[in-house]
Amino acid sequence: MVTLPPGHPGPPEHQPHRARDMAESFGAEAARYDRARPRYPDAMVHRLVAASPGPDVLDVGCGTGIAARQFRAAGCRVLGVEPDARMADFARAQGFEVEVARFEEWDHGGRTFDAVIAGQAWHWVDPLAGARSSARALRPGGRFAAFWNAMQLPPEVEDAFAEVYHRLLPDLPILRGMTAGAEAYSAICTRAEEALRTTDSFTDIDRWQFPWPHTYTRDEWLDGLPTAGVSARLPTTTMTELLTDIGKAIDNIGGTFTMHYTAVVLTAQRTDTT
């Protein structure tokens, strides 16, 4: 979810990378974020590993290490770059080396990698500066991959949630991120793709999709709600109301529901020329 709160003085929605206060707010509840945020389908991880020339991976906006753990389990060596020191500390506790910096300003120190990945994070990176930093960090033939978990609620759950959100938060488009599916990231992918092309450093630019389901219990879904970008910035009283009423809505539909995720991937290969 990449929307901004009402009255936010920052950029419009098509420039979320300028909303630094939101981009670097997730570390306030790093443990909850790590526990509640969804992982990525193994099929996506394995395809990206197979498409990379080697095992050295740079994880941009690595957060608590959710994607990093999956790539490590697939045989990769992962270095993280993360602007939030609290998130970086959590990932370090998972055994990862993490450097605290915004990727646009990160000094690669002459190091190069077989893959540059960004899980649920590339929209917080300036597209053109990020593309140029990726080109510098990748070996010839290396793989760039930015990916997101797009959500699609079942219709009956969407209806139940809509009543709550429209009543409590009528001016916030929070529900949209849970109902748009893969289309929610189309514009972000387009801007990132244009930036990759602008550098003249990438070829075979492509988009992949990996549908996968995940069934949530009431408590599991409520645990994750405060970690969403906009939700995390709601007043405490509003968040309490939201959790209470969404909990009741889930109870009324049987206590569980299945979210239909699609892992949306923008990927490209570093050209052989430097």
Residue range 13-29, pLDDT digits in tens: 456 554 445 555 665 78
Instruction: Provide the 10 A C-beta neighbour count for residue 242.
Output: 20
Superfamily holding 18-153+177-215+259-270: Vaccinia Virus protein VP39 (3.40.50.150)
Quote the CA–CA distance of 22 and 231 in Å, as a whole number: 11
Exposure string (b/e) for 192-225, b if CB count within 10 Å is 16 or more?
bbebbeebebbeeeeebebebeeebebeebbbbb
Q: What is the residue whose two structure tokens read 């120190």?
A: 109
List the alpha helices (DSSP H) in the chain.
20-23, 30-36, 42-51, 66-73, 85-93, 127-137, 155-168, 186-199, 218-224, 236-252
Note down pLDDT in tens along the chain; length 274 residues: 333 333 333 344 456 554 445 555 665 789 999 999 999 999 999 999 999 999 999 999 999 999 999 999 999 999 999 999 999 999 999 999 999 999 999 999 999 999 999 999 999 999 999 999 999 999 999 999 999 999 999 999 999 999 999 999 888 777 776 777 788 899 999 999 999 999 999 999 999 999 999 999 999 999 999 887 677 678 899 999 999 999 999 999 999 999 999 999 999 999 986 5
Domains of the chain, by residue range, sit at: 18-153+177-215+259-270
Do you know the residue count of the chain? 274
